[in-house]
Amino acid sequence: MRQFAYEPISKSFATKFLTSQSDALVLATRPQNSQGTRFVIGEFSVHNRSGGTAFVGIGGRLPIALWSAGLWDDSAYAAGTVYLDDTTDWQDAGADDFLLGTTSTNDDGIVISCAVPFSIASIVVGTAVSGGAPAWSLHYSIATAGTGFASNWGTITNAYVAPLFTATGEQLILFEPPTDWVPVTAATAIINRHGSVIPSGYAIVVKQTTAGTTSAGLGTIGVVGRMFMSTEGLADNGILTNIGGQEIALPPQCDAVCAAISTANSQNRVDMKYRYSG
């Protein structure tokens, strides 16, 4: 295996994760003309200077070619096309151009599907869900065991950051990839299984268990990634560190190195050594 020298980086970042696909926001990108295959993170420290306790992790961005997203229409789950693709709007910078649910309709929501397991999604909300007492649940594709939603989708009840779209700006969904997460296939993307025309891949469904009664949420852009060493409850001025620890090899599909802190602050900081491995 080829070995490459470590590159050091020290950088502050003002986003929770990423608010665009721009390389200017990440910690490092793939070296041009490199013969390597993946990022390997060595020693690092992620400094929480957000002013309060936060969830923190380090990992990579997944390219837009690997994932898709759109609207979940729960009324069509058992008898029609449950998924309405809106990937283009999710991945571009057009303001308020994709739905996060439906006004006053419980259990509608969103789908994100990726060719490889992911663990974080950043959604920039342009119009917040409002009216009533909106609430959401988070689900993931499992091996099918008969018909019906519960036989085809598991539930994540203890996410690091659960979906919440009642405020504008960058909102995170952050969780550990479940051990029984399986990809949707063409054979299971049918009515009353994973749902008709759900994209093939590792999928999550975010349902608005209690819909907003005044307005549905609208998003501007989404970004997807894979986090490691995600840590709950890191105090203000605390540091997530891997000094003296083992290297972390990111999935080869990751095209950039990133960190995440659940409360944004322009003085949050990462110090890191990384290499691009063969």
Mark whether 72 and 51 lie in a shared domain.
no
19 in a structural domain: yes
Q: How many Å apart are CA 48 and CA 40, to the nearest integer?
A: 22
2 in a structural domain: no
Mark whether 78 and 203 lie in a shared domain.
yes
pLDDT for res 256: 97
**Assigned token pair, 40:** 């390997």
Domain ranges, residue 124: 66-223
Mark whether 76 and 187 lie in a shared domain.
yes
CATH of the domain at 238: 2.60.120
Mark whether 136 and 163 lie in a shared domain.
yes
34 in a structural domain: yes
Tell me which residues of the chain have a pLDDT lower than 70: 1-4
Mark whether 210 and 254 lie in a shared domain.
no
Measured over the CA atoms of residue 231, residue 234, residue 240 and residue 245, the dihedral's sign is: negative
Phi (first) and psi of residue 23, to 5 degrees: -65, -15
11 in a structural domain: yes
Residue pair 49/236 in contact (Cβ under 8 Å)? The answer is yes
Q: How many Å apart are CA 264 and CA 262, to the nearest integer?
A: 6
Mark whether 139 and 103 lie in a shared domain.
yes
Mark whether 75 and 146 lie in a shared domain.
yes
Residue pLDDT, tens place only, 189-231: 999 999 999 999 999 999 999 999 999 999 999 999 999 999 9
pLDDT for res 52: 97
- Give the 3-state secondary structure of residue 93: coil
Query: What pTM did the predictor assign?
Result: 0.96
Q: Residue 133: is it exposed, middle or buried by C-beta count within 10 angstroms (0-12/13-18/19+)?
A: exposed
Mark whether 27 and 157 lie in a shared domain.
no
Mark whether 145 and 78 lie in a shared domain.
yes
1 in a structural domain: no
Mark whether 136 and 199 lie in a shared domain.
yes
pLDDT for res 245: 85
Query: Looking at the 3D structure of the chain, how many domains does it have?
Result: 2
Residue pLDDT, tens place only, 123-148: 999 999 999 999 999 999 999 999 99
Q: Which amino acid, 220?
A: T
74 in a structural domain: yes
Mark whether 23 and 37 lie in a shared domain.
yes
Phi (first) and psi of residue 106, to 5 degrees: -65, 150
Strands 218-234, 120-127: pairing is antiparallel
Mark whether 185 and 238 lie in a shared domain.
no
Beta-strand (E) ranges in the chain?
7-12, 28-29, 38-47, 54-61, 67-72, 83-85, 98-99, 109-114, 120-127, 135-141, 153-156, 169-174, 202-210, 218-234, 239-241, 248-249, 256-261, 269-277
pLDDT for res 1: 47
